[in-house]
Structure 1
Amino acid sequence: MMVEKLTRCIGAVVSGLHLGEASRNDALFAEIKALLLKHRVLFFRNQDITRAEHVAFASRFGDLETHPVAGSHPDHPGLVQVYNADQKRPYENNYHTDGLWRPTPPMGAVLRCIECPEEGGDTIWVNMVEAYRRLPDDIKRRIDGLRAKSSIEHSFGAVMSPEERANLARKNPEVEHPVVRTHPETGEKILYVGSFTTHFVNYHTPENVRFGLDKNPGAGLLLQYLQSQASVPEYQVRYRWRPNDVAVWDNRATQHYAVMDYWPAPRKMERAGIIGDKPF
């Protein structure tokens, strides 16, 4: 097995192995998991694996989730088909942590490229541990103990009818998470707000608010500043896909952005998301 770092901050290409074998080999899987905790996102080129092997490998990390809007492959529960063949405006082209609107967002995901355009269609991943580490000290003090709400309603629900959107919100009510979470395996601090985050829930205190202006737009401006940290190039790696490439990422410590610069060419990906734990 060979490991090639792509940036000093995040991302590595792993070669010399087959993920089908890794789904059955305890020692090989343990090596991959250790590399994932170190590099945040791993890339495996030219992985000619079956859907069953894809699901089996992802399941080594934990149980797989289903998506309330995207659904799953009929023969492989937990495998989401992200097929953008006729969409001008898909939802992936913003900086986000998958499932931040869930009480227990995904631990990670395994994404395989089925078909990609000749030009464009890259994906960007961001190291949100580094984003927190390099925040100014005064911002770290301001957000210490701060909590925020996240919701699926204003993203996936935006294109639905009012009745469908209300039903989506009833089945997936907004959730509250810490603005800075702790990685359950490494103990690292992670900046944990993204495009699903709507507002702070405990900002309006005497320490933060003297006048109404401090609360609104003050709180909103702070949230926008924190969300913007994902767009800093020094925290990122950008990957150009080829068919049968696979990416595995730690969803707890990263955000990602699927660049929408290829329409009307098709882009077809299949993703298995792994159920995570409650952020703390």
Structure 2
Amino acid sequence: MGQLDVRPLIEGRDFGVRIRGITLEQTKDPAVRGEVNALFDKHGMIVFENVEPSGAMHVALSDIFGPMKDHPSKAVPRVDQDAMPGVIDMETPALADGAMTVDGRTVISWLPWHFDHAYNNELNRAGVLRAIDIPPEGGLTGFVDGIELYQRMSPDLRGKIEHARVLYRMNVVMENFRFGRPADYTIHSERTGTEAVMEASKNVPRAIHPAVWTRQTGEKVLHVSPWMAEGIEGNETPEGDALLDAVSREVFSLAEDLSYWHAWKPSDMLIWDNWRVLHAVSGHDPRYKRRMQRTTIKGDYGLGSFEGGASNDNEILERTY
């Protein structure tokens, strides 16, 4: 079916690749599927450019990487599950609640660096994202490689966080964001539905994940999610909080040089490794809407747990966002 058009995501860097023009037919070819998966395992992220901008293509691309996992919250809007199973719909209307000022910009839909489902003991393998409504400026999605973060962080901080495990809880109240919080950060309103999410998740046990973990291929990954972090296991003290804040600030600082920010086109779709890569959202002018759709690829790296030994109970997760 022809050779794939594969290019670096960032010239001179090993993180990420671009694949241009993959077709719906090619997604069914075992040889293509094997090549794409190998590229994903090696590079951690793929941007698919010039693809058919359809839900069918979104599902077909997702299927290359494994079975899809439904989002744990029943409150998250879904696309037609018969036609596009596993696709969630994330829409921010124009002038929606949730405006904030960050570093001198008043925006909506800003999110700090994080990995998905940190509040769960199991981490999904990946997410596949596409844009439906794109604001005329802003609305970028950022990605930073945990392997590069580990290699570039200061040796002193790396030594202090190397064997720590971080506590996470579902917390979508942006005023509660603590670790690595920008100096210029003002919340003007919380998103609609925030209170209901917090009420539903208040009795869910905290999740625990290692701050650093080692891939089967030997690379160490810094995998700290500043968003939804609550502290360091066994060290919820001013000293422990200061360490987690310093690590989170290091993530934000290093990301200024290491991150890739994707400016969306309707013909783009992308996948990132949720066990390795942190992502963020730049935010955009509140006058404009932004609508994204995402699938979640099933899997787990096997290193997370719930505090107190709680089991992975789907009924617990269904009460969360």
Inter-partner Cα distance in structure 2 for 1:161 and 1:84: 14
State the match for 1:81 in structure 2.
89
SS where residue 52 of structure 1 aligns?
helix
Per-residue deviation at 1:230?
A: 3.0
1:59 and 1:102, CA in 2 relative to 1: closer, same or farther beyond 3 A? farther
State the match for 1:221 in structure 2.
242
Is 1:5 the counterpart of 2:8 in the alignment? Answer: yes
State the match for 2:299 in structure 1.
276
Which AA in structure 1 matches 2:78? S
TM-score by length of 2: 0.74
Is the deviation greater in 96-105 or in 4-13?
4-13
Say whether the 8 Å CA contact 1:41–1:250 is kept in structure 2: yes
TM-score by length of 1: 0.84
How many pairs are equivalent?
A: 266
State the match for 2:219 in structure 1.
188
Is 1:139 the counterpart of 2:157 in the alignment? Answer: yes
Inter-partner Cα distance in structure 2 for 1:162 and 1:239: 31
Say whether the 8 Å CA contact 2:79–2:89 is kept in structure 1: yes
1:145 and 1:225, CA in 2 relative to 1: closer, same or farther beyond 3 A? same
1:202 and 1:247, CA in 2 relative to 1: closer, same or farther beyond 3 A? same
Alignment of 1:107-146 (within 5 A): 107-146=125-164
Per-residue deviation at 1:91?
A: 5.3
Unmatched runs of 5 consecutive residues or more in structure 2: 99-107, 177-189, 304-321
Per-residue deviation at 1:251?
A: 1.3
Per-residue deviation at 1:120?
A: 2.0
1:5 and 1:109, CA in 2 relative to 1: closer, same or farther beyond 3 A? same
Structure 1 segments, 4+ long, off by >4 Å, are: 154-164
Per-residue deviation at 1:249?
A: 0.9
Which AA in structure 2 matches 1:181? W
SS where residue 112 of structure 2 aligns?
coil
Inter-partner Cα distance in structure 1 for 2:249 and 2:112: 11
Per-residue deviation at 1:163?
A: 6.9
1:22 and 1:88, CA in 2 relative to 1: closer, same or farther beyond 3 A? farther
Inter-partner Cα distance in structure 1 for 2:257 and 2:195: 40
SS where residue 142 of structure 2 aligns?
strand
Per-residue deviation at 1:16?
A: 3.7
Inter-partner Cα distance in structure 2 for 1:163 and 1:116: 28
Which AA in structure 2 matches 1:196? M
Which AA in structure 1 matches 2:147? V
Q: Percent identity?
A: 25
